Amino acid sequence: MTTTSQQELFRFLEDRFACAQACTECARACAMRASLVDPDGAENQELVRRKGILCAEVCDATCRVLSEQNQVDEATIRIQVEWCRQVCLESAQTFDEHSGAEQAAQACRACARACTEFLATLN
């Protein structure tokens, strides 16, 4: 293995780990945000709750995919990570419109950035 390919492998593994870690943190923040919203609240609160639950589930699933070493092919990983990135961006926009959800919005954006960086290593 050449030095360049070793460096690429290390970067790939580091970005994969960073993405999985960001997904875990985002899932936690979104689950917390969803749990704080009144399920019988106004329509905008219900949207925040649903987005939080969806984002937590997608981030959790993405973390699991990234943790499965060679059991998942690259195309599946790419699709899952791109889906996570999209859901995180949409969730962050929804959280921006809800007072008290700033931390969840930041976690979503951090996860989306980590997903973008990891996707770049797949190209």
Cα gap 90→111, rounded to integer Å: 12
The more confident residue out of 41 and 49 is 49
Rounded to a whole number of angstroms, the CA Rg of the chain reads 16
pLDDT tens digits, residue range 87-113?
Answer: 999 999 999 998 889 999 999 999 999
Cα gap 81→63, rounded to integer Å: 9
| 1-120 fold | Substrate Binding Domain Of Dnak; Chain:A; Domain 2 (1.20.1270)
pLDDT tens digits, residue range 19-43?
Answer: 999 999 999 999 999 998 877 777 7
Burial of 97 (0-12, 13-18, 19+ CB in 10 A): exposed
Helix, strand, coil percent content, the chain, rounded in steps of 5: 85, 0, 15
Average pLDDT of the chain to the nearest whole number:
90
